[in-house]
Amino acid sequence: MLRKILLPVIFAVLAYGFWVSTDFKAISAGVAIFLFGMLSLEEGFRVFSGGVLERVLKRSTDKLWKSLSFGIFTTTLMQSSSLVSVITISFLSAGLLGLKEGIGIIFGANLGTTTGAWLVAGFGLKVKISAYAMPMLVFGTILLFQKAKHLKGIGYILSGLGFLFLGIHYMKEGFDAFKDNFDLAAYAVSGYAGLFLFSLIGTLATVVMQSSHATLVLIITALSTGQITYENALALAIGANIGTTITAIIGALGSNAPGRRLAGAHLVFNVATGMVAIVFINQLIRAVDQVSLWAGIADLDFTLKLAVFHTLFNLLGVVLMLPLINPLVRLLERTFKEPAEVKEGPRYIVASAVEFPDTAVEAVRNETLHVYDNAREIICLGLGMRSERVLNDPKFESELARQSAIPRVDMDRLYEQRVKTVFSAIIAFISEASFTWKERQSGDLHWLRDANRNIVEAVKAAKHTQKNMLRYLLSDNHHIRKEYNQLRLSVAHLLQQLEQLRTSSDEETTILSLDELKLAQKEREQKLNQRLYQLIRDNSITPAMGGSLMNDAAYISEIHTTLLNMAATLFTHRRRDLAGAERQIALDPGELERVLEQQQAAAREEKA
């Protein structure tokens, strides 16, 4: 209800304001242009970086001090703590970051955003900023019409900066003219009542504009023209800091529990910092005076003093909250719990990840690993084995040989419960994501989709072989029993080798090294075929048994092929260009066959 009437009310108030005052119109246009500039800048960073930001984020956030510095640096660079916090939420949701590191980035972003106040107060008000805006807009727009993505990105960034500068210029002009007609300073409220009132106004203004930066620029320009008092400007700045969490909260609405936890941390930090600032406002004002005196800022230069205040109180917040990170993490984990799963759903792919190419790829990769883990358990159960024993128990082979009873599991039900929902979610996510952009990451998503299809096919192949597997593994005929045990052991060995590949950090683990496993598979198939005909000829197994063995060997072969194809995407190194080259070089089945023939010919020659 509130949401329905909010927009018309805002429109009505603005329309009335435009009708009453042309200066108000200029200020509002300034804010609108400024916000448009920020949107353009965000777009530019997305298009231009094409994932660079995300790659850097991944590398530079593994420690708390690193994530803190990273938050400061990126927010200073992009001049938008909101963008940084939304990206961080999507990272956390995709499982790329821990909550603690995410909180570090958010703390850093709060400090980084204070550089904006310095830029506007120190530079924006003293130089004719619109003079810089015009050329930026012209060059930026020309670049926007270029086909190359990186040129377009530069275009967005340039025009974004141009609009930011132009917006500041209009706000300044508006306030300059405004002060001749009105004196907002007459409405100043002093004392704690004023502090709370103006903090609330600052919060609301930032919620509406979804940018603390825009609010701060408004405050600084209004302060520079004497429209608001210094004290009230401080309160507005505190409010802006609280209001800025709205973007992260909106971002977290489409996110999972980790994303919500981070948005919660953002809110807790900013509200707590704001409260401390309000309570200790007099001490803070004295500290600002001291710092200003030390930095050589004139006593009456309130705009620069506001910048000092903004930096000081955010710094105070970081100093106060850093030691409390661990209790905060525990509190948030208790508050936002992961929902209990009946049908296993996706863990990593969330709507907010779709917007950032590398995050989306990483989320799909993690989700595919999730599908693989579940599929591996189902395949093992279908073949009468336990996945954890296969991977961790060196004695599992001898135990399998002694197995006297094998429980039959409902593979269809397991597939529905543990694979299908996640698999479908991945396919839906990839369809949506690859529709959104045509970047290099689309190639990664193509391979990941293929990997998922391969995993599902492996489960289905295991299901087809289950009936005969259980029947012949407990057969009285030890020949057929041995052959079927060999078949399932070949799957177990493959799973072990894949697990080694997965956990190996070896540079040599490449798509090409999988060719060795494929060759071994071919060799084994050839040997089985030779044995099979011999067993039928010797009447060791019946022709019906032979037929079943042949069919099931084909299903087992399919498990090998599909899982090896999956491993080429999931378990090899991630340098996109090298992976592409290796896929080209990897041998196809015919080429592998020739290698095998050559080797057998050489072996025969040696014997002769």
Partner 1 sequence: MKTRKLLARIRAFFDQGAADSRESQQALREVLEKLKRKERKLRHNLDLERNPEKRSQLEQKILLVHSQRSKGLQLLKEENERDKSG
Site residues (vs partner 1, CB under 8 A): 148-149, 151, 508, 510, 512, 515-516, 519, 577-578, 580-582, 584-587, 591, 594-595, 598-599, 602-603
Q: Which is nearer to partner 1, 393 or 591 (CB)?
A: 591
Spatial distance between the Cα atoms of 104 and 87, rounded to a whole number of angstroms: 14
Task: For tokens 């999972």, name the residue.
Answer: 256
Please state the closest distance from residue 439 (CB atom) to partner 1, in A.
12
Please state the closest distance from residue 564 (CB atom) to partner 1, in A.
14
CB-based contact 200:235 (threshold 8 Å): no
State the DSSP code for 94. T
- What one-character-per-residue DSSP string does 57-92 give? HHHTTSSHHHHHHHHHHHHHHHS-HHHHHHHHHHHH
Spatial distance between the Cα atoms of 110 and 126, rounded to a whole number of angstroms: 25
Q: Which two tokens mark 536?
A: 């039928």
**Burial class of residue 237 in the structure, from the number of CB atoms within 10 Å of its CB (0-12 exposed, 13-18 middle, 19+ buried):** buried
Spatial distance between the Cα atoms of 456 and 425, rounded to a whole number of angstroms: 14
Q: What are the helix (H) ranges across 244-324?
A: 245-253, 257-279, 281-295, 302-321
* Among 254, 286, 275, CA closest to 321: 275
Spatial distance between the Cα atoms of 262 and 265, rounded to a whole number of angstroms: 5
User: Which residue type sits at 356?
Assistant: F
CB-based contact 344:374 (threshold 8 Å): yes
User: Chain centroid to CA 96: how far?
Assistant: 6
Spatial distance between the Cα atoms of 464 and 469, rounded to a whole number of angstroms: 9
Q: Which two tokens mark 113?
A: 């955003």
State the DSSP code for 328. H
* Among 568, 570, 586, 573, CA closest to 506: 573
| Burial letters 384-410, b for 16+ CB under 10 A, else e | bbebeebbeeeebeeebeeeeebeebe
* Among 115, 103, 109, CA closest to 70: 109
CA angle at 556 for the pair 554 and 561, rounded to the nearest 5°: 90
Q: Which is nearer to partner 1, 319 or 578 (CB)?
A: 578
Length of the chain: 608
Question: First CA to last CA across the chain, in angstroms?
Answer: 90
Q: Is 604 helix (H, G, I), strand (E, B) or coil?
A: helix
State the DSSP code for 416. I
CB-CB neighbours of 127 under 10 Å? 11
Q: Which two tokens mark 11?
A: 């429109």
Q: Which two tokens mark 439?
A: 């970047």
Alpha-carbon torsion 441, 446, 447, 449, what sign? Answer: positive
Q: Which two tokens mark 203?
A: 């919060």
